[in-house]
């Protein structure tokens, strides 16, 4: 790993978030729920978190994600933007998403 | 036991007790199993298939030193095929060229590499293994080169607590995503060596400050997970997240246990995989049901508002300190025996000589016979 990556990543509208290689989103057929697997921890994302995580594919920018989610939830972009960026910053800090 | 039994999430697979290091803080049982008692490849593969069917999502491949199993790649491939998250817990000495890359290829998700010290001299002394530190540094580089995520695990005790800032720098320099500062839990060999390992109160307080400051400073740069020392605590840890609640472990011979030290509770009987299916053990084993949920609890747990936070703490610690596996973990301030923890710290410290070399260690070795009286320091 290079020294450059040893700096905290901060979310912006241009970020193209992608799940870290050691984080895996998969459907658990035993519990019939989506699970995010990571070292030592298993997360059970709720519906909104799941919709955000599914867009973390390295292709969608944060701005595009907000537009898509606003459309999906029939909500105002300005209204949901802080929630989406807050979520992505938190998950970046938890080393689950690369911004 | 009226609550429904939910499927387990995590499994610790102790593939072998063999290990090139001899750390005196090892959590393995004092009576270690020789290689000829280890379950064979077919046994582990069958166990992993049943674990996946039962709902296990994460398997920690541990030991002893799991990389001493030549079938490790095959075991990883089986788990990966079933979508189970695999975490390899290794001491990282003597891993042959090409193996790390082969495990990555087989689908390994993550490696946790232990360092006994932040400096070569400490690592060699604690593990009683010459050249171990350099080999670990090389393993870390190979893990990163193979594109695998890396956690550095630092088991902390009196002889390396002052190196905590250096462990943090070491983990950063190795490109680790995560660092575990894990104060030694007194089970297995660590319980045997408690007197030699026990830190001083002031050192623990300094350590807490250093780690909390680093967690803040390194937010989003490296995660630091901090396992605090039980003997200095106010409330106990929810050991294993609650007895037989969402995790279990398997010993090298296939014996299935609720936690790695459960064998110290002599009143319990444990089944071996093969004699019983994993599902039957999880649901019907008397050992698993003994402390499941909250109905087994005595006072002060029985009426405590924290009973589903702490789950009574550690059953093995209750056994070791209180002499009763159903007692409240004495780490809890509400335990009538809580003062015993402080007394054990003081007794350990008062017998400490000015010399801080770990001469008093009983190094971990297979076949070494030892007498253990955990209730006295």
Supply the pLDDT for residue B372: 54
Supply the pLDDT for residue B358: 58
Supply the pLDDT for residue A62: 96
Residue B377 lies in a domain: no
Tell me the residues of chain B between 171 and 200 that have a Cβ less than 8 Å away from chain A: 172, 175, 177-178
Q: Is B58 in CB contact (< 8 Å) with chain A? A: yes
Which residue of A38, A39, A91 is the best one to mutate when testing the B interface, meaning the one whose CB has the most B CBs within 10 A? A39
Size of interface A-B (CB pairs under 8 A): 62
Tens of pLDDT, residues B336-357: 999 988 888 888 888 765 555 5
Do B277 and B140 fall within a single domain? no
Six token digits for residue B241: 């997240």
DSSP state of B235: S
C-alpha span between B258 and B118 (Å, rounded): 32
> Residue B61's domain is classified under what CATH number?
3.20.20.70
Q: Does residue A48 or residue B352 have the better pLDDT?
A: A48
C-alpha span between B4 and B2 (Å, rounded): 6
Rounded average pLDDT per 10-residue block, chain B, 377 residues: 83 96 91 92 98 97 96 98 97 96 97 97 94 97 95 96 97 95 91 89 94 95 91 87 94 96 92 97 96 92 92 90 91 91 86 61 78 51
Q: What is the mean pLDDT of chain B?
A: 91
Q: Is B223 in CB contact (< 8 Å) with chain A? A: yes
Residue A18, C-beta contacts closer than 8 angstroms, at least 6 positions apart: A56, A57, A58, A97, A98
> Residue A25's domain is classified under what CATH number?
1.10.10.1150
Tens of pLDDT, residues B313-342: 989 889 988 999 999 999 999 999 999 888
Do B207 and B164 form a contact (C-beta atoms < 8 A)? yes
Residue B347 lies in a domain: yes
Count: domains in chain B: 2
- For residue B354, the cross-strand partners are none
Residue B125 lies in a domain: yes
Distance from CA of B148 to the nearest CA of A (A): 8
Do B275 and B140 fall within a single domain? no
Residue B234 lies in a domain: no
Residue A3 lies in a domain: no
Closest alpha carbon within chain A to B176: A1
Residue A75, pLDDT > 80, answer yes
Residue A1 lies in a domain: no
Domain hosting A42: range is: 21-98
Residue B376 lies in a domain: no
Residue A40 lies in a domain: yes
Count: domains in chain A: 1
Distance from CA of A17 to the nearest CA of B (A): 14
Do the Cβ atoms of A22 and B109 come within 8 Å? Answer: yes
Q: Tell me, letter by letter, the H, E, C secondary structure of B287-324.
A: HHHHCCCCCCCCCCCCCCCCHHHHCCCCHHHHHHHHCC
Other Cβ atoms within 10 Å of B146 Cβ, number: 18
Domain hosting B19: range is: 10-228
Six token digits for residue B364: 């971990």
């Amino acid at each position: 790993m290079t020294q450059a990556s040893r700096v905290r990543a901060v979310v912006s509208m241009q970020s193209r978030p992608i799940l870290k290689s050691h984080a895996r989103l998969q459907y658990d057929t035993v519990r019939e729920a989506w699970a995010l697997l990571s070292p030592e921890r298993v997360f059970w994302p709720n519906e909104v978190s799941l919709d955000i995580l599914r867009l973390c594919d390295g292709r969608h920018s944060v701005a595009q994600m907000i537009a898509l989610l606003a459309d999906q939830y029939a909500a105002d972009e300005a209204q949901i933007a802080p929630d989406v960026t807050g979520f992505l910053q938190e998950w970046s800090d938890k080393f689950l998403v690369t911004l | 036991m009226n609550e429904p039994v939910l499927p387990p999430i995590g499994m610790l697979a102790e593939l072998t007790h063999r290990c090139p290091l001899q750390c005196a803080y090892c959590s393995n049982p004092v009576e270690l199993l020789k290689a000829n008692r280890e379950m064979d490849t077919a046994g582990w593969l069958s166990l992993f298939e049943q674990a996946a069917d039962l709902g296990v999502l994460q398997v920690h491949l541990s030991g002893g030193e799991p990389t001493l199993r030549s079938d490790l790649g095959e075991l990883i491939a089986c788990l990966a095929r079933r979508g189970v998250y695999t975490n390899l817990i290794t001491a990282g000495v003597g891993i042959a060229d090409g193996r790390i890359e082969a495990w990555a290829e087989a689908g390994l998700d993550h490696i946790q590499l232990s360092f006994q010290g932040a400096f070569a001299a400490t690592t060699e002394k604690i593990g009683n293994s010459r050249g171990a530190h350099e080999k670990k540094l090389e393993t870390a580089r190979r893990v990163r080169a193979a594109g695998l995520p890396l956690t550095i695990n630092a088991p902390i005790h009196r002889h390396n607590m002052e190196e905590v800032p250096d462990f943090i720098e070491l983990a950063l320099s190795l490109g680790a995503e995560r660092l575990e500062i894990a104060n030694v839990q007194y089970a297995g060999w660590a319980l045997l060596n408690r007197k030699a390992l026990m830190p001083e109160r002031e050192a623990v307080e300094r350590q807490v400050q250093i780690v909390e400051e680093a967690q803040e400073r390194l937010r989003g740069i490296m995660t630091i997970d901090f396992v605090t020392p039980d003997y200095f605590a106010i409330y106990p840890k929810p050991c294993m997240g609650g007895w037989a609640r969402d995790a279990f472990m398997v010993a090298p011979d296939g014996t299935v246990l609720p936690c790695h030290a459960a064998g110290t509770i002599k009143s319990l009987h444990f089944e071996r995989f093969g004699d019983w299916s994993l599902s039957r053990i999880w649901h019907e084993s008397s050992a698993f049901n003994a402390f499941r949920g909250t109905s087994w609890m005595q006072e002060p747990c029985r009426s405590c508002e924290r009973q589903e936070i702490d789950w009574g703490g550690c059953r093995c610690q209750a056994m070791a300190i209180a002499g009763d596996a159903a007692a409240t973990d004495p780490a809890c301030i509400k335990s009538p025996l809580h003062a015993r923890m402080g007394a054990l710290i003081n007794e350990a410290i008062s017998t400490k000589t000015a010399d801080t070399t770990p001469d008093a260690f009983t190094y971990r070795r297979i076949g070494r016979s030892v007498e253990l009286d955990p209730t006295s320091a």
